[in-house]
Amino acid sequence: MHTTNQIQLLKRLRTLLGEAYVLSEGDLTIYEQDWRKRTRGKALAVVRPANTRQVAEVVKACAQTGVSIVPQGGNTGLVVGSIPDQSGTQVLLSLQRMKTVRTLDADNLTITVEAGCILQNLQQIAAQAGFLFPLSLGAEGSCTIGGNLATNAGGTQVLRYGNARELCLGLEVVTAQGDVMHSLSGLRKDNTGYDLRNLMIGSEGTLGIITAATMKLYPMPAANLTAWAAVPSVTHAVKLLGLARQHLGAGLTGFEMMGQFALSLVDKHFPHLRVPLWQEATYCVLIENSDSESQDHARERFEHLLEVAFGNGCITNAVMAENLAQARNLWHIRESITLAQAEEGLNIKHDISVPISSIPSFVEETDAQLKREIEGVRLVNFGHLGDGNLHYNVQAPEHGDSKAFLRDNEERVNQLVYQSVKRFDGSISAEHGVGSMKVNDLPHFKDPVALKLMQQIKQALDPQGVLNPGRVLR
Ligand code: FAD
Ligand code: 2HG
Ligand code: ZN
């Protein structure tokens, strides 16, 4: 049953957007359920505006009726920030219809796109014009540039190109009052006051709705080399990272580490992918070198790195991709770990960062503690070693009731991991954000003054709490 207010709002939204773009009945699972299928919300309505003006009008209408809005892009977020709560009173605002490329400026090396543009489409459009758009992650086939910016997504190219924040030069944003901030600047230098763009980036839909963005493009690298290597330990992986930096310089674009159990899950659930070397090493690493020099020169340098690494025992075996298709397959294996984990069953996710120098001790100590305290625990450790960011995940025991395992152990597992992160001066969310999943943990791990300033910013920009309430901040 809807209240009179809600009925009036729905009517107004239908007038603004058209009947077909205000959904309040039927199966809304794809909008209301999170990607991991662990949480399900209920929306008052799902609205699908076609342009910035409509987004602004929806926000105004909702603000006037005191109804809050949850912005959603591809709904691939991993911290439960993009679905409505269970109250049935929130409007879910999907940006998916807004996917136009507004301009591509080849001389300025920028592209301006609407927020609902799928990341992979953006990469392809850039490539067709002869440029590289480097942001790259496993969900790129369905996540959107708006969602990437709202979460300040990382991915596998951060080492060289930075995360979403570093790739963004300008934003168009609808504020909590329904005003439009036109800041789609393609400027690389602009010191005219507070950096509102960077405030919006990573704010997870709590400060404004991103409707368009101007993103940086890069020249397409002439050479691209990828190797998969077996390493004896995490310490060796870190040492290899240092060597790779030394030998490849800025050409080092990706450095990922994958634990044996993580790879065994890919082998088990996707055997056709033919995971290399996983049986012979506790960890494997994936190294990518992209360069502006010729493929032959780059290859020589890359092979030299591998020789040195063999020589000093950092790697025990390695395969090198012979062509782009093989390289893509190696990346595909790495990016399939999340799906393999989902196939295996319920799991607990951690997206942590600690200084790279502390990673070996962090892994050693946390592994030992979890194994000691949580019976049957299976550790799925992988991630962006080059950024000091690990997905230090925990899979429920192979046999037995995984639901019961999570019910009984999830909180304790999180405590152990987060306390360990704290000891090493790390972060409990390196790239996925806070959402509602970590909102109660944040006060224990964020500097209290920083947290207070965040609350004041939220209060200043969205005093009514219209935008994604209960996410990032309680
Ligand atoms: P959604 O999930 O729809 O939304 C995410 C958050 O942003 C929500 O809080 C939402 O309210 C807000 N939001 C969305 N659009 C807007 C907008 N236009 N304006 C304001 N707020 C908005 N993340 C990484 O950082 N690195 C990875 O390597 C990575 N790999 C992944 C692999 C898989 C298989 C999956 C499922 C997820 C992965 N993610 C990764 C997590 C996820 O953060 C990214 O997929 C992506 O950035 C989310 O984009 P989205 O469009 O799906 O956003
Ligand atoms: C990745 O790096 C993503 O593959 C997902 O950030 C991590 O599944 C995860 O925990
Ligand atoms: Zn990741």
Residue 242: what pLDDT?
Answer: 98
Written as one letter, the residue type at 148 is N
Cβ-Cβ contacts under 8 Å for 26 (sequence gap 6 or more): none
| Pairing, β 43-47 against β 90-94 | parallel
434, part of any domain:
no
My answer on whether 292 and 215 are in the same domain is no
- CA of 380, closest atom in ligand 2: 10
Q: Which residue minimizes the CA distance to atom 9 of ligand 2?
A: 338
Range of the domain at 119: 101-219
Closest ligand, as measured to the CA of 388: 3
Note whether 446 and 375 are within 8 A (CB).
Answer: no
Closest listed residue to residue 102, CA positions, set 168, 49, 136, 51: 51
442, part of any domain:
no
Q: Which residue minimizes the CA distance to atom 4 of ligand 2?
A: 335
Q: What whole-number distance in Å separates Cα of residue 18 and Cα of residue 11?
A: 10
Note whether 205 and 150 are within 8 A (CB).
Answer: yes
My answer on whether 205 and 192 are in the same domain is yes
Sign of CA dihedral 107, 108, 109, 112: negative
My answer on whether 109 and 178 are in the same domain is yes
Q: How many domains is the chain built from?
A: 4
Q: Give 317-329 as a DSSP string.
A: EEEE-SSHHHHHH
Residue 22: what pLDDT?
Answer: 98
Pocket (CB within 6 angstroms of ligand 2): 138, 335, 338, 349, 383, 391, 393
Note whether 126 and 56 are within 8 A (CB).
Answer: no
Going from the C-alpha of 138 to that of each of 80, 119, 155, 395, the distances in angstroms are 17, 11, 8, 19
Is the minimum distance from the CB of 386 to ligand 1 under 6 angstroms?
no
My answer on whether 131 and 213 are in the same domain is yes
Written as one letter, the residue type at 84 is P
Domain end: 407, 423, 439, which one? 423
197, part of any domain:
yes
Q: What share of the chain is helix, strand, coil (3-state, %, to 5)?
A: 40, 20, 35
For residue 276, how far is its CA from the centre of ligand 2 (angstroms)? Answer: 20
- CA of 391, closest atom in ligand 2: 10
Written as one letter, the residue type at 226 is T
What b/e readout covers 143-172, taking b as 16+ CB neighbours within 10 angstroms? Answer: bbbbbbbbbbbbbbbbbbbbbbbebbbbbb
Kind plus residue range of the DSSP H or E element containing 382? strand 378-384
My answer on whether 153 and 245 are in the same domain is no
My answer on whether 116 and 198 are in the same domain is yes
Is the minimum distance from the CB of 63 to ligand 1 under 6 angstroms?
no
Ligand 1 probe mutation, 35, 36, 78, most atoms within 8 A of CB: 78
From first to last of its 474 residues, the chain has per-residue pLDDT tens of 899 999 999 999 999 999 999 999 999 999 999 999 999 999 999 999 999 999 999 999 999 999 999 999 999 999 999 999 999 999 999 999 999 999 999 999 999 999 999 999 999 999 999 999 999 999 999 999 999 999 999 999 999 999 999 999 999 999 999 999 999 989 999 999 999 999 999 999 999 999 999 999 999 999 999 999 999 999 999 999 999 999 999 999 999 999 999 999 999 999 999 999 999 999 999 999 998 888 899 999 999 999 999 999 999 999 999 999 999 999 999 999 999 999 999 999 999 999 999 999 999 999 999 999 999 999 999 999 999 999 999 999 998 899 999 999 999 999 999 999 999 999 999 999 999 999 999 999 999 999 999 999 999 999 999 999 999 999
CATH of the domain at 372: 3.30.70.2740
Q: How many CB atoms lie within 10 A of CB 345?
A: 14
My answer on whether 295 and 210 are in the same domain is no
Residue 207: what pLDDT?
Answer: 98
Residue 1: what pLDDT?
Answer: 84
Closest listed residue to residue 394, CA positions, set 426, 267, 405: 405
- CA of 154, closest atom in ligand 2: 6
268, part of any domain:
yes
Token reading at 419: 């306390």
Q: What whole-number distance in Å separates Cα of residue 70 and Cα of residue 148?
A: 15
Q: How many CB atoms lie within 10 A of CB 391?
A: 23
Is the minimum distance from the CB of 432 to ligand 1 under 6 angstroms?
yes
Residue 4 C-beta-side C-alpha neighbours within 13 Å: 0
Domain end: 423, 440, 460, which one? 423
Written as one letter, the residue type at 33 is Q
Residue 398, SS3 per DSSP: coil
Domain end: 321, 338, 355, which one? 338
Residue 291: what pLDDT?
Answer: 87
Residue 400: what pLDDT?
Answer: 86
- CA of 155, closest atom in ligand 1: 28
Closest listed residue to residue 467, CA positions, set 133, 177, 119: 177
Is the minimum distance from the CB of 143 to ligand 1 under 6 angstroms?
yes
pTM higher than 0.95: yes
205, part of any domain:
yes
My answer on whether 229 and 318 are in the same domain is yes
- CA of 341, closest atom in ligand 2: 8
My answer on whether 114 and 157 are in the same domain is yes
Residue 316: what pLDDT?
Answer: 98
Residue 230: what pLDDT?
Answer: 98
385, part of any domain:
yes
Q: Which residue minimizes the CA distance to atom 35 of ligand 1?
A: 139
My answer on whether 351 and 411 are in the same domain is yes
My answer on whether 228 and 325 are in the same domain is yes
CATH of the domain at 140: 3.30.465.10
My answer on whether 418 and 405 are in the same domain is yes
